[in-house]
Structure 1
Amino acid sequence: MNLLNPVSAFNEWTDHFLTRYLVRKGRLQRLQLDAYRSYGTASRIYVKGRLLGDRGLQPQTATDSGWRNFRSMVRRFNSREIAGADLVAELPDGSQHLVTTDDEGYFTLILKPQALPAPAAYLWYPISVRVARLPPPFGPGQPAVQATASVLVPPPSAEFGVISDLDDTVFETRATNLFKMLARTLLSNAHSRQPFEGVAAFYRQLQRGRTGQPDNPFFYVSSSPWNLYDMLDEFMGLHELPPGPLLLRDFTIGTPRTTPPPGITGSAAIHFAHKLHEIDDILTTYPMLPFVLCGDSGQEDARIYREVVRRHPGRIRAIYIRDVQVPARALLVGPIIEELKVAGVPMLLVPDYAAAAAHAAAMGLVA
């Protein structure tokens, strides 16, 4: 028995009790419907989001103090989830689908449209989602709450897809040092964080591949919690990273959905299981599309990607692991590089993205 499960259950119960109390006292009048970017095909699309009490987040700038960023971060994590609400999602073909939010306010839909029209924006389809019914103790006459989810559907001309980590791959988090990681996460915002030099340009090269058209889809798989979605989404837009679904993790205590390899325990096991589960789903959704994987040596990316190669032989074109300059972590990557070389999959431990771009060009992945 996992002794953490009762702790998680108690935490959920107290959250729901406080939410109901605030509703009865009239202190939770504004709601916020988050519709996350997701992905799919012409015949099967995936939609995910969350219904919360409005967190009162204000626009942030690069000059905001660490204290203001910290207060915003507290609001992100001190969320009031709305469980048991009925939502209606409308597809571009006009069909409507009902879904109910779970105990953490999340909703997930896997839909099969009859026919998709041309995308409203290149590669992206809008899915309208609205609240149809709120559970007690909400009364009648609540303001309308709606949002639009954007669903990525790669075109037939896509040469390959790209799956990338975020922390210490796109921007510095110092995940190998708990205190430095917390400081960077809690005291910064989308404007004050900076991407690694060359990462945005390299990713745009991969998006355009050999044809020069931005056809190659990007997917960002991270163990960061969904509470940070708005900040990460804004960061990507500010620094012109290729837009793609952000596949994050629920910030709750629980057991991994996938059994990790021997020797991986605790938070590393949850990180491993989450990322492997999401990557499995992506590769299963696009069985004819090869992929490039990008990560870093700070956590478990090299071992996760080795397992992806084992599960999906012939699907991975190249793997780029950014060196976080921790020698002990680099030593763990070396044997995996040699192992994958035998499997015919190049994995590179790169000091910067100029080295990754040069290799991608030599392989013919980019023009």
Structure 2
Amino acid sequence: YRSYGTATRLYVKGRLLTDKGIGEPGESDSRWHNLLNMYRRFESNEISGAQLLVRPTDGTEHPVVTDEEGYFTLNLTPLALPEPIDFMWYPVEVQLQQAPRPFPTPPGLRTAVPVLIPPPDAEYGIISDLDDTVIQTSSTNLLRMARIVLVRNAHSRLPFKGVAEFYRALQLGRNGKRNNPFFYVSSSPWNLYDLLEDFLALNQIPPGPLLLRDFRLGGKKTGETTAHHGHKLREIDNLLLTYPQLQFVLIGDSGQEDANIYREVVRRHPGRILAIYIRDILRRPDRAAMVERVSEELRTDHVEMLLVQDTVQAAEHAARIGLIFQDAIPAVQDEKQKDEAPATDDELDGQGNGRPVMP
């Protein structure tokens, strides 16, 4: 998995699974094909007890063993760092040394784990939710969410209008170096990692570590809100503690607990949050009133939380307070207009690929 670190600490995380044959997503993939791939993602065969070797570019080697769910994590101190890829990414190699029986050990099986290290001249970082903030999920409507999640792939799932251009403007910042780091904190399970990473790449949304949750069957539903809240708060706390010199912009939506979570972040880390944008996905007066109450509370902490109707409104505010260039706004508006009328479920061609049916 993409991860993050500093010049003195690299955090490496990954998972070893059997190959279920999930290939690259295609525009013509049928709904049944997408549904089968989703089944494969969640019917995962974890490989526990596998011996791996982690190799940063400094020439050192670090053994690690996968846990009962196939995960491995490692904190290591690099002796030296090479020149980064795309301003802030440092590759770490992970090689399979020995798989437990009955699994074979293919010779030379290895992969590169990109680790993000923000450069010293980064202006700020961006922490964003994914579901119903970047990618349209309809998480407040369980039936519609199931249809979207189960039968669409990275090609056919839709970003919110203008979000890619706005996020690229935030990454560019005001120094024009395109080196402001993104971090995506979501309650989506790790099983969806490949789909989410493909989605970001296909829509030219800045890449960043995806900080997801483990998927477990049979959990108590009564604790879901608390678990969601705790996961997000814990991951954001870790980010702000890892980068004590970096301020952050927080982006979420009105559908779950983002406003309350971000209020707690401001209280725990005074002076660290530059702005908070909450996308109004419900258009319900009670949710808007809740966000406004939180926003009013945060004014005493000198932090603006905006409930925005669309991405252009967020971009206009970001330009006004000096986060992005003023001339980035027309590009966000143009992209929003291009995305203005996405195909609805009833207009799909029956294959789940997002192309309208001919009338």
Alignment TM-score, normalising by the size of structure 2: 0.87
Question: CA offset at residue 228 of structure 1?
Answer: 0.7
Amino acid at match of 2:42: F
- Report the counterpart of residue 274 of structure 1 in structure 2: 231
Taking the aligned partners of 2:24 and 2:10, their CA distance within structure 1 comes to: 31
Figure out how many residues of one structure are paired with residues of the other and give that number: 324
Taking the aligned partners of 1:195 and 1:138, their CA distance within structure 2 comes to: 39
Deviations 1:138-184 (A, max 9, x none): 46x64432110001111111010000000000011111111111111
Taking the aligned partners of 1:254 and 1:318, their CA distance within structure 2 comes to: 38
Deviations 1:292-326 (A, max 9, x none): 00000011111110111111111000000000034
Taking the aligned partners of 2:319 and 2:51, their CA distance within structure 1 comes to: 49
- Report the counterpart of residue 340 of structure 2 in structure 1: none
8 Å contact from structure 2 (residues 138, 144) kept in 1: yes
Q: Secondary structure at the match of 1:47?
A: strand
Q: Does 1:226 align with 2:190?
A: yes
Q: Secondary structure at the match of 2:73?
A: strand
Q: Could you say if the C-alpha distance between residues 309 and 265 of structure 1 is closer, same or farther in structure 2, counting changes exceeding 3 Å?
A: farther
Q: Does 1:331 align with 2:289?
A: yes
* Aligned counterparts, 1:120-135, within 5 A: 120-135=85-100
* Aligned counterparts, 1:1-367, within 5 A: 36-138=1-103, 142-252=106-216, 266-327=223-284, 328-367=286-325
Runs of 4+ residues over 3 Å off in structure 1: 141-144, 253-256
Taking the aligned partners of 2:79 and 2:129, their CA distance within structure 1 comes to: 33
Taking the aligned partners of 1:286 and 1:275, their CA distance within structure 2 comes to: 17
Question: CA offset at residue 67 of structure 1?
Answer: 1.6
Taking the aligned partners of 1:322 and 1:335, their CA distance within structure 2 comes to: 16
8 Å contact from structure 1 (residues 255, 270) kept in 2: no
- RMSD of aligned Cα (Å): 1.6
Question: CA offset at residue 208 of structure 1?
Answer: 1.0
Q: Could you say if the C-alpha distance between residues 62 and 329 of structure 1 is closer, same or farther in structure 2, counting changes exceeding 3 Å?
A: farther
Q: Could you say if the C-alpha distance between residues 250 and 314 of structure 1 is closer, same or farther in structure 2, counting changes exceeding 3 Å?
A: same
- Which moves more between the two structures, 293-302 or 329-338? 329-338
Question: CA offset at residue 337 of structure 1?
Answer: 0.7
Q: Could you say if the C-alpha distance between residues 335 and 248 of structure 1 is closer, same or farther in structure 2, counting changes exceeding 3 Å?
A: same
Q: Secondary structure at the match of 1:89?
A: strand
Taking the aligned partners of 2:232 and 2:115, their CA distance within structure 1 comes to: 20
Amino acid at match of 2:258: D
Amino acid at match of 1:69: N
Percentage identity across paired residues of the two chains: 58
Deviations 1:84-141 (A, max 9, x none): 11110001111111111011000011111112121144211110001111123346x6
Taking the aligned partners of 1:361 and 1:121, their CA distance within structure 2 comes to: 24
Amino acid at match of 2:240: L
8 Å contact from structure 2 (residues 87, 119) kept in 1: no
Taking the aligned partners of 1:254 and 1:67, their CA distance within structure 2 comes to: 26
Taking the aligned partners of 1:251 and 1:38, their CA distance within structure 2 comes to: 19
Deviations 1:40-95 (A, max 9, x none): 11101111110000011133222322221111100111110000111100011111
Higher RCO structure (Cα 8 Å, ≥6 apart): 2
- Report the counterpart of residue 331 of structure 2 in structure 1: none
- Report the counterpart of residue 332 of structure 2 in structure 1: none
8 Å contact from structure 1 (residues 91, 127) kept in 2: yes
Q: Could you say if the C-alpha distance between residues 121 and 309 of structure 1 is closer, same or farther in structure 2, counting changes exceeding 3 Å?
A: same
Alignment TM-score, normalising by the size of structure 1: 0.85
Amino acid at match of 1:175: S
Amino acid at match of 1:278: E
- Which moves more between the two structures, 270-279 or 142-151? 142-151
Amino acid at match of 1:275: K
Question: CA offset at residue 254 of structure 1?
Answer: 8.6
Taking the aligned partners of 2:72 and 2:191, their CA distance within structure 1 comes to: 15
Taking the aligned partners of 1:135 and 1:244, their CA distance within structure 2 comes to: 32
Unaligned 5+ residue runs, structure 2? 326-359
Taking the aligned partners of 1:295 and 1:246, their CA distance within structure 2 comes to: 15
8 Å contact from structure 1 (residues 289, 315) kept in 2: yes
